[in-house]
Structure 1
Amino acid sequence: MSIETDIKQTTPFKTPYHRVMVNLMYTSNWVADAQMRVLKPFGLTLQQYNVLRILRGQYPNPVKVSDITERMLDKMSNASRLVDKLVAKKFVLRTECPSDRRAVDVVITDKGLSLLKRLDIHQADLDENHRSKLTEEEAVYLSQLLDKLRA
């Protein structure tokens, strides 16, 4: 289905560049919505899931909140607030950084790792859905084009 059909646009886009930008935004929201439907039963937001994945990638080493902020996909997220919510759910631990008392170290807990392991199964299902629509070569090429657009 074309972007024009999905957004019920009857007039042509001014340029192919305008079309691709609208298509990127629409598709990004479409992917995020599918991901949110997977996360909702687990009581997680996309941003909280992103923090947990960052922490899992560094496990067992702690990560400073400022480093989490730099690595977040959504740069508008408040990493400190997200960490607070994850601490309350016992998915992460927050401690004072021994080398810098003003900084806070965060590490994922076993409960957080277990949750991510369960979510990995759902992520594999989403990946399989995308695999049925794009070949591996197309996925690589699309990633290269997106990287080129951001360069």
Structure 2
Amino acid sequence: MKLSGSCHCKAVRFSVDAPCPVPFNQCYCSICRKTAGAGGYAINLGARTDTLEVEGRENISTYQSSENMERTFCKICGSALWGYSASWPDLIHPHASAIDTELPVPPERTHMMLDSRANWAEPQIHSGDKNFDAYPDESLAEWHDRNGMTA
């Protein structure tokens, strides 16, 4: 699925092809919460790095949030845009909050890193949702395949 996204001030606009475009995986870790978590969590999608096209690249800054993750944001308005890890060079993870394209609604959600959540961030857990204190037992691609939602 072709996704278009932007920051809040529109100084950065981007597009990317995402075989895993469903916003299902809510991460409550302190890094996601503090860099992009409006509800106490962040939602990342799975896209192909080689398809990323960016306008306004001069307005982008990056933050190395851990040994394996680089987070990209607009240096004007601060909007979180995507995450990237050299451990998975073919993947880029746009934040669902930065996507302007209408996204599919997930049939279920995965709540991950619940042991790291802030006490005020109360997960809205629905019937069928999966919950994990740390990492989930399936990848973005596996979840999309299992639910027949690979684009």
TM-score by length of 1: 0.25
In our comparison, the structure showing a higher alpha carbon Rg is: 1
TM-score by length of 2: 0.25
Structure whose residues are more often strand by fraction? 2
Query: Which protein has greater RCO, CA pairs closer than 8 Å, 6+ apart?
Result: 2
Structure whose residues are more often helix by fraction? 1
